[in-house]
């Protein structure tokens, strides 16, 4: 029970990697605020793990503030904040992506990290030992072609993680990230453009261990980095990628 009695917010926890992280945290003793823009999905996961469902649009300041306010009112503290919510654009030439799509990717993948920090840090600073985990991507380390602005948003997230870690260390707060490779989540089809055996084989050929990331893989890595076992680890962007970035 490595997270016994911890209060953890996980954004985008209604499906995919976020759901895997939420399940793992709950199994290790945490009470998880399952935050997602999809209320029905959040409720389903929260019911499954005996957590708390919270509807949130991570790109909107008022919505993020309401999530933090509700968590503090119910539990009085935030021990773990996982910025997992993310979106991508479909594979296309970088100069063909529309401005609205670009803005959407950076609002959900980047601005959300700023907003959760802005609203949660005033409370987390008074809770030494609390920590933040950002779910970035191997795309920010080894970009795939035709996913340019998604790649760039995850590179931003990696830099933000390191910068946050340096600034928040004097407050006793740790900030880390995990970099998954493409996984069996609702975003997989968007990354590939279309889900065919040929395109899956092409993606898998870039992963030495020969399989996609799973929500369970992400949950296990996240649990370690957010636990006291990782108390000397901050500013790390851990690749959970089957060797893709070697």
pLDDT of residue 196: 80
- Please list the rounded mean pLDDT of every run of 10 residues in the chain (246 residues): 97 96 98 98 98 98 98 98 95 96 98 98 95 96 93 98 98 97 73 76 88 94 98 98 93
Q: Which domains does the chain possess?
A: 7-240 (3.40.50.720)
Taking the complete model, does pTM exceed 0.85, yes or no? yes
pLDDT of residue 191: 65
Dihedral of the alpha carbons of 222, 226, 231, 232, in degrees to the nearest 10: 40
Q: Taking a C-beta distance cutoff of 8 angstroms, is the pair 62, 162 a contact?
A: no
Could you give the residue numbers annotated as active site? 150
* CA–CA gap between residue 182 and residue 52 (Å, rounded): 28
What is the arrangement of strands in the sheet containing 7-11, beginning at the earlier edge strand? 52-55, 31-36, 7-11, 80-83, 131-135, 174-180, 237-240
CA distances from 64 to 75, 81, 90, 148 (A): 16, 12, 26, 27
3-state DSSP assignment of residue 89: coil
């Amino acid at each position: 029970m490595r997270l016994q009695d911890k209060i953890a917010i996980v954004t985008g926890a209604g499906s995919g990697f976020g759901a895997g992280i939420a399940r793992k945290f709950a199994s290790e003793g945490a009470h998880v605020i399952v935050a997602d823009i999809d209320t029905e999905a959040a409720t389903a996961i929260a019911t499954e793990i005996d957590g708390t469902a919270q509807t949130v649009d991570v790109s909107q300041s008022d919505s993020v503030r309401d999530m933090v306010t509700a968590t503090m009112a119910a539990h009085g503290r935030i021990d773990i904040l996982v910025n997992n919510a993310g979106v991508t654009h479909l594979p296309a030439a970088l100069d063909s992506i529309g401005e609205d799509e670009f803005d959407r990717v950076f609002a959900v993948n980047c601005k959300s990290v700023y907003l959760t920090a802005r609203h949660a840090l005033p409370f987390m600073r008074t809770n030494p030992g609390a920590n933040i985990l950002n779910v970035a991507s191997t795309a920010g380390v080894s970009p795939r072609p035709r996913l340019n602005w998604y790649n760039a948003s995850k590179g931003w997230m990696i830099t933000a993680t390191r910068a946050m870690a340096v600034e928040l260390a004097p407050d006793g707060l740790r900030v880390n990230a995990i970099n998954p490779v493409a996984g069996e989540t609702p975003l997989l089809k968007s990354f590939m453009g279309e889900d065919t055996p040929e395109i899956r084989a092409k993606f898998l050929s870039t992963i030495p261990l020969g399989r996609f990331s799973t929500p369970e893989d992400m949950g296990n890595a996240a649990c370690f980095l957010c636990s006291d076992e990782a108390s000397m680890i901050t500013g790390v962007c851990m690749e959970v990628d089957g060797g893709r970035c070697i």
